[in-house]
């Protein structure tokens, strides 16, 4: 992983949390920089960005007091995603993370190649969101 790609990953992670970039902007920026996917692990507090050559960079995410619920509720994860897509008043990525964690989401993986985000619970239950081509 080169320094430029690492800097882009850091910038995108910061921008998600401070609200200066939305999901489509982050995806576009990461793709243009050569990434093929990323994953968020709420239990470890990490974001990992993957390049096609197998290299990756793992970054710490901001600390959160919200715990991952034991039961995965896909319908609540989907609702949080729809709120993000609609850019409802008061939306923040940190608020989104709290909502999906309360819905039992332990993390998610975004695949640019597969054009999808896969949200998963502690028992490996999943909810898949496809994004436009």
- CATH of residue 14's domain is 3.30.1810.10
Q: Residue 133: its pLDDT value, please?
A: 54
Structural domain of residue 96, as residue ranges?
3-130
Tokens of 100: 């999906």
Q: Residue 122: its pLDDT value, please?
A: 96
The number of domains in the chain is 1
Closest alpha carbon to 27 in 94, 117, 92: 117
Predicted model pTM: 0.93
Q: Tell me the mean pLDDT per 10 residues along the chain, length 133.
A: 93 96 94 97 97 96 91 97 92 95 98 96 96 72
Residue range 66-90, pLDDT digits in tens: 899 999 999 999 999 999 999 899 9
Distances (CA, A) of 48 to 76, 80, 99, 117, 121: 24, 22, 21, 14, 18
DSSP state of 98: H
H/E stretch holding 15 reads: helix 3-18
């Amino acid at each position: 992983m080169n320094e430029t790609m690492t800097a882009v990953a850091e910038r995108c992670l910061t921008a998600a949390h401070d609200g200066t970039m939305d999901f489509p902007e982050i995806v576009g920026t990461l793709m243009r920089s050569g990434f093929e996917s990323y994953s968020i692990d709420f239990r470890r507090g990490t974001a990992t960005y993957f390049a096609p050559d197998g290299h990756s960079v793992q970054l710490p995410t901001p600390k959160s007091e919200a715990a991952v619920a034991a039961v995965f509720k896909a319908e609540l994860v989907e609702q949080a995603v729809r709120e993000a897509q609609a850019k409802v008043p008061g939306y923040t990525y940190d608020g989104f993370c709290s909502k999906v964690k309360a819905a039992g989401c332990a993390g998610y993986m975004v695949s640019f190649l597969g054009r999808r985000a896969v949200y998963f619970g502690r028992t490996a239950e999943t909810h898949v969101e496809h994004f436009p081509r």
